[in-house]
Amino acid sequence: MGSNGTTTPSLPDTSHLDGVNYLFGHPIAHSLSPLLHQTVYDNLGLKRSQIPLDSTDIPHFLSLTKDPKFFGASVTMPHKVAIIPHLDEIMQEGKDIGACNTIFLKQDQNGTRHLVGTNTDCFGVRDAFLQNLPAGKDKDLYRGHPGLVIGGGGACRSAVYALQKWLGCNPIYIVNRDISEVTAVLTDCKKAGFGDSLLHVQTGAQASLLAAPGAIVACIPNFPPKTPEEIEARKVIEVFLRKEEKGAILEMCYHPTPWTEIAEISKKEGWQVILGTEAMIYQGLEQDRHWTGKGLEELPSKEVHAAIAQALAARH
């Protein structure tokens, strides 16, 4: 048993590896993260692996970071906030978003290793848009246009951060069925210094009076709206999608299928649909940038895309 009463999973033999990192979270059975990183390491000729650690035992995870072979970790739910106090340092984007999904090591002049946390989810959102620009368009396509984020959870904060900081969207509309979640997002983002342009759009009538967004990030599960709040939120989304000006929508939901109801409506209305696997891939490549010291252009992006597409196809 782990120190907090949870079962500690047995781990595979790593004696043949030069380096290990962990995917630390619960539940993680469906995660494509280990496949993504293995594809990177195999293509770079590195004897490394990401080991799934399906656990809620933070002290046990921290003990694994002492292993000389340890070089980092992907951190997922429910640990993205809880892990922060255990880190030696957190980078600005992790501080601002209030969540850590990546740990890498920094060595000081005495050779002591320090755990550094960051958030690469926001880079995943940024690069999903920038790496999928329509032909002939440059990266300033979205600058000065409104952005729209659908949802109110952790992914929503990363999306707001990316749309404002890198894509230059202004203002940023928030649409969500739960007012208390939106209030929390507005409060957190303002406190972190990137929430002043946020606008909660609550009704279809309100949406009809606003300028069309250029970039949309949908951060909600794929299900048909049932409650009055869900039905109104869907109406707001549809009003924005039907406006004359069209842009790109990143549909973050890719499990169990990357093609959602919102993606289908968006395509019918003439929007460019970017699948959530793009954000997942680019946040993972940003992690490997920290773990390998290589730039994005040096990492095997094409091979990773092929491996993820094949894995998703095998699930259906």
**pLDDT for 224-243, tens place per residue?**
999 999 999 999 999 999 99
- What is the pLDDT confidence band of residue 4, given thresholds at 50, 70 and 90? low
**Beta bridge partner(s), residue 104:** 72, 116
Span 66-75, mean pLDDT?
A: 97
Phi-psi region of 23 (alpha: psi -120 to 50; beta: other; left: phi over 0): beta
| Structural domains of the chain, with CATH | 19-119 (3.40.50.10860), 123-277 (3.40.50.720)
Burial class (CB in 10 A: 0-12, 13-18, 19+), 314: exposed
**Beta bridge partner(s), residue 50:** 21
142 within 8 A of 167, measured Cβ to Cβ: yes
Strand 215-218 and strand 147-150: pairing?
A: parallel
Nearest residue to 127 via CA among 166, 174, 171, 95: 166
Residue 255, pLDDT score: 72
**pLDDT for 125-184, tens place per residue?**
999 999 999 888 888 899 999 999 999 988 899 999 999 999 999 999 999 999 999 999
- What SS3 state is found at 6? coil
Residue 7, pLDDT score: 59
Nearest residue to 104 via CA among 285, 305, 288, 277: 288
Residue 218, pLDDT score: 96
**pLDDT for 19-62, tens place per residue?**
999 999 999 998 999 999 999 999 999 999 999 999 999 999 99
Tokens of 31: 């995660």
Phi-psi region of 137 (alpha: psi -120 to 50; beta: other; left: phi over 0): beta
Rg (CA), the chain: 20
Catalytic member of 66, 80, 190, 235: 80
- What is the pLDDT confidence band of residue 8, given thresholds at 50, 70 and 90? low
Which residue is listed with tokens 């842009």?
A: 247
Residue 80: active-site member = yes
Residue 137, pLDDT score: 86
Span 245-274, mean pLDDT?
A: 91
- On the question of pLDDT at 254 being above 90, the answer is no
Span 89-97, mean pLDDT?
A: 95
102 within 8 A of 36, measured Cβ to Cβ: no
Residue 149, pLDDT score: 97
